[in-house]
Structure 1
Amino acid sequence: MLRLFDVSYDELTEILSDDLYRLRKQTFKDRLGWEVTCINDQEFDEYDNQNTRYILGVYNGQLVCSVRFIGVAHPNMITHTFQAFFSDVALEVNKIESSRFFVDKDRAKRLLGDRYPISYILFLSMINYVRHYGGEGIYTIVSRAMLTILKRSGWQIEPLKEAWASEKERIYLVYLPTDDKSQTQLAERINQSLQTDFSALTSWPLALPVTKAPV
């Protein structure tokens, strides 16, 4: 089973934290070329702290995906790192900021198969997580490529503002709703591939079957 669950910064074991930060370095520094802080082949920053929770996606003991959550009332990338770009957008402090969304493509392909809808499952896990804890929505900053993936998923996202992070890179502040409709649409999309018990897709934590043999 693929298991997605949440942990606090303090609950991360040394093994999991090392793997998490190493995979983040491989994703954001090596593959995407972002200007991120890396030490000892790991990527982490000032937002990895006691105010943070992580969703971890694990299959057979191996981490394949993750996303970081911080309450908007605490320092986060929107209100601090990218404050100059988005300070004119009023954020609701009862909502959550997400960042460092990634899927390790090599591991996911090897462990789950080519067509396993892992990105959509991680999107759904974000909705389920927020709903489980009584939240109402998510803010995030995404690249143009990630904006396209979000739109293709069927998630009825709301772009709030576009900005130029550099001469070549556009970024987007986006609101991600976590209402019944958003949850149902993503769950139905995923279930076209998994054909599993629908209630399993709308629960938290998630435990989902892997129907295709690893390659």
Structure 2
Amino acid sequence: MLEIFDVRYDELTDIRSEDLYKLRKKTFKDRLNWEVNCSNGMEFDEYDNSDTRYLLGIYQGQLICSVRFIELHLPNMITHTFNALFDDVALPKRGYIESSRFFVDKTRAKLLFGNHYPISYLFFLSIINYSRHNGYTGIYTIVSRAMLTILKRSGWQVEVIKEAHITEKERIYLLHLPIDRDNQARLLLQVNQRLQDPCSVLSTWPISLPVMPESA
């Protein structure tokens, strides 16, 4: 079963947190070459703290994907790390969360699921399900151009709040991610179209989903 669920920062075991931070280093430092803090082969920062919740996608005991959530009124990457770029944007005080450090480990996903399993779209849907289940109104996040393209391709009706340049050539985007029923249905449709055995648990939280092997 593919299990997608949420945990608090202080609920992460030493083994699971080490795996999470190593995969983040592999994604954000090694592959994307972001300027992130790394130590002992792991990536973590000041926002990995007791205010944080993580979504984890686990299959056969292996971590496949994760994202980090912090309530928007608390210190986060939008209001602190990138404050100089987005301080002119009026953000809501309550009812919203900030997401960061979204990743899907492509190597593990391909090995365990094959080439065509819609793990990214399923994880987007999981983010919506989690947010709705916990009574949030929406999500704000900062993404790269590549991630913006992936989000738009999924059918999620994301809203670009502001575009900014962190270098002469590199742009980032402050987004609002709506979590209403319409966007949940859009992601459900995308996932169901790609799964060989669509399952009703896709609209629930947490998600526990059997994985069908790819046809030869």
What range is the shorter-chain TM-score in? over 0.9
In structure 1, the residue matched to 2:85 is 85
In structure 2, the residue matched to 1:72 is 72
Residues 114-155 of structure 1: CA distance to partner in whole angstroms, max 9, x if unpaired? 100011111111100000111110000000000000000000
In structure 2, the residue matched to 1:22 is 22
Counterpart CA distance in 1 for 2:63 and 2:45 is 20
Conservation of the 8 A alpha-carbon contact between 2:117 and 2:194:
yes
1:196 CA drift (Å): 3.9
Could you state the TM-score of these two structures normalised by the residue count of structure 1? 0.97
Gaps in structure 2 of 5+ consecutive residues: none
1:6 CA drift (Å): 0.1
In structure 2, the residue matched to 1:209 is 210
Q: 2:42 aligned with 1:42, yes or no?
A: yes
Runs of 4+ aligned structure 1 residues displaced above 6 Å come to none
Match of 2:10, SS?
Answer: coil
Gaps in structure 1 of 5+ consecutive residues: none
Conservation of the 8 A alpha-carbon contact between 1:187 and 1:198:
no
Q: Report the AA paired with residue 105 of structure 2.
A: D
Counterpart CA distance in 1 for 2:149 and 2:214 is 29
In structure 2, the residue matched to 1:147 is 148
Q: Report the AA paired with residue 166 of structure 2.
A: A
Q: Report the AA paired with residue 47 of structure 2.
A: Y
Aligned residues: 215
Q: CA RMSD, aligned part only?
A: 1.3
In structure 1, the residue matched to 2:10 is 10
Counterpart CA distance in 2 for 1:18 and 1:101 is 16
Counterpart CA distance in 2 for 1:212 and 1:117 is 13
In structure 2, the residue matched to 1:170 is 171
Could you state the TM-score of these two structures normalised by the residue count of structure 2? 0.97
